Amino acid sequence: MACNDENLANLDLDGLRGEIDEIDQTLQFLIIRRTKVVQAVGAFKDRVIAAGGKVKVPYRPAREARIMRTLVNRHDGAFPKSALIQIWREMIAAGTRLEAPYTVALCRNADGQDCWELARLNFGCLNEIIEFDIPREAFGALEDGRAAVGVFPKPELGEAMPWWTLLTDETPVKVVSKLPFGGRPVGRGEQTEGFVLAAIDLEDSGDDRTLFVVSLSKEISMDTVRKKIADGIDGATILGFSDDTAADRRFVLVDVPGFFCNRADAFQATLSEQGLAPESLRVVGAYAVPISEDALN
């Protein structure tokens, strides 16, 4: 660069704009170079898929979370961190699309609310968003490959037929990310939170939470379940519950700190120690803990 920071004040408008033009050129060359590397990653994934015969979903939220956290940690200067994240979101979303084009299935909740703004910010300006009112249909789009990722609203306690009850043993679809990950949109969508679903393997981002669905006897009250889970696991929360009408069981969606995906036994043991003895327990997802608002200021 022609000029160091201290000398900027000595430049006239043309001189300053010349600096900006040079910076833009360097940034653009780097984007071009980054895209070539991303395409090479895509080709690598193709070879893995050819060997395993899976449908290609290039999205890797744990890797993206690591990238975003690194960006925020090393940032300096006046440019806002949430805007920095947004630049990378566009870049990552557009690059991932070059690995394999993908569509986003967006599901509304029973009150008609959705996470459209969060989906658009996270998956960029190019990806098609198809909207659904019925969770089973949005879920079906993920299972048959019409959509690679789904954005579902955060569950509400007590809602009828919650979407997360579709996350059974028979489906490869799981919860893989939570939105917003780094910064909320200003205004519309500011209050919304959602989960991203996809048929991909769960990966450890270094700071994660795991989602379990536990089947318990209906005879145990929800207050008791809540207390026992809170006593047994620091920081665990219950995100939803749903009665199985055909049986004397209740499904409970529990959000537990840590990447527990290969350690469901540990969670099972903790519940048993608390006298809950679940009839069944399964991991239905894991997600990178979003960057806190404090870290973005």
Ligand X SMILES: C=C(O[C@@H]1C=C(C(=O)O)C=C[C@H]1O)C(=O)O
Interface residues with ligand X (CB under 6 A) are 38, 41, 58-60, 63-64, 67, 92, 95-96, 99
* Structural tokens at position 15: 């001189």
Q: Minimum CB separation from ligand X for residue 271, in Å?
A: 34
Comparing CB distances to ligand X, the nearer of 96 and 242 is: 96
Comparing CB distances to ligand X, the nearer of 182 and 240 is: 182
Q: Minimum CB separation from ligand X for residue 46, in Å?
A: 12
* Euclidean distance between CA atoms 56 and 288, whole angstroms: 22
Q: Minimum CB separation from ligand X for residue 96, in Å?
A: 4
Q: Is 180 exposed, middle or buried (CB count within 10 Å of its CB: 0-12, 13-18, 19+)?
A: buried
Q: How far is CA 1 from CA 24, 57, 98, 152, 258, in A?
A: 11, 40, 32, 46, 44
Helices (H), the chain: 13-52, 61-74, 81-99, 116-123, 135-143, 222-232, 264-273, 293-296
* Euclidean distance between CA atoms 95 and 40, whole angstroms: 11
Comparing CB distances to ligand X, the nearer of 256 and 291 is: 291
Comparing CB distances to ligand X, the nearer of 62 and 216 is: 62
Q: How far is CA 140 from CA 11, 41, 53, in A?
A: 59, 28, 20
Q: Give the DSSP letter string of 183-240.
A: -PPSSTTTT--EEEEESS-----SSEEEEEEEEEETTS-HHHHHHHHHHHSTT-EEEE
Comparing CB distances to ligand X, the nearer of 71 and 238 is: 71
Comparing CB distances to ligand X, the nearer of 96 and 103 is: 96
Comparing CB distances to ligand X, the nearer of 41 and 220 is: 41
* Structural tokens at position 31: 């984007």
Check: CB of residue 181 under 8 Å from CB of residue 122. yes
In the β-sheet with 280-288, what is the strand arrangement from edge to edge? 129-132, 104-107, 149-153, 194-198, 174-179, 280-288, 208-217, 249-257, 237-244
Q: Minimum CB separation from ligand X for residue 251, in Å?
A: 31
* Euclidean distance between CA atoms 206 and 191, whole angstroms: 26
Q: Minimum CB separation from ligand X for residue 4, in Å?
A: 31
Alpha-carbon torsion (137, 139, 143, 146), positive or negative: positive
Comparing CB distances to ligand X, the nearer of 54 and 63 is: 63
